[in-house]
Amino acid sequence: MMKTFSFYQIENLLYNATFPKVVTKILKEEGKVIILCANKEEMRQLDNLLWTFAQLSFLPHATEDDACDASLQDVLLVTKQPNNNPDNRVLVATSEKLVLQQDLESYTKIFVINNQPINVQEFMNSLNRCTEELNAKHFVQKSDGSWQHGICAGSVASVI
C-alpha cells in the first residue's frame, strides 16, 4: 500500500491562524486525526490553540491526558504514538523528526505541519526502512498567507 506524506510549512507569523485551518481541512477530507506533539508543553499549546483560534469557532478535540474515551474524539493530541491505529486515523506531526521516530506501519497518510523549513527529499531518503511505495506533497505558505508548491519530486495536489 502506498504511503502519502504531505508537508505544510507555515509562515512563522501566521502559524497560530493557519495550523487549525490545516487540521480542519485534513479532518474534513480524511476523518479522524492523531496530532503527534514533541512534548507536553507543545501539546498544551496546541490544545489551547484549537479551542481559541477564532472568536466564534473552535476545533473539538481531546488530549492523551483527558479523562475521556479517545475513540470518540475526531482529533486527539498525543506525545506518544498509540500502540495501534484501530480507528484508522491519519497521523499529523508537528515536525518531520517526530515522524522518523515512529512506527508508521498502521498509517497510509502522514501530515507534517510546522513553521520550519523542510527538506522533503532528505526526509524521504531517511525512510529507507520503509519498503512501501512513497508519495510526497510539499506546500509552503508565503508571507501573504497564500500557498505554493514546495520542491518535491512528483508532488501534485491541491493547496488549501
- Rounded distance, CA 72 to CA 112, Å? 23
For residue 1, the model assigns a pLDDT of: 67
The secondary element (H helix, E strand) that includes residue 119 is none
Structure confidence at residue 108 as a pLDDT band (50, 70, 90): confident
Q: 70, 81, 74: which is closest to 105 by C-alpha?
A: 81
Q: Which residues pair with 112 in a beta bridge?
A: 7, 93
| Whole-model pTM over 0.85 | yes
Comparing 71-80, 112-121, 144-153, the range with the smallest average pLDDT is 144-153
For residue 157, the model assigns a pLDDT of: 38
Phi, psi of 24, rounded to the nearest 5 degrees: -60, -45
The fold for domain 3-149 equals: Rossmann fold (3.40.50)
User: Domain map of the chain by residue range?
Assistant: 3-149
Work out the number of other CB atoms within 10 angstroms of the CB of residue 64. 15
> 108 vs 5, 43, 64, 85, CA distance in Å?
8, 23, 22, 11
More confident call, 151 vs 51? 51
Contact 19, 46 (CB under 8 A): yes
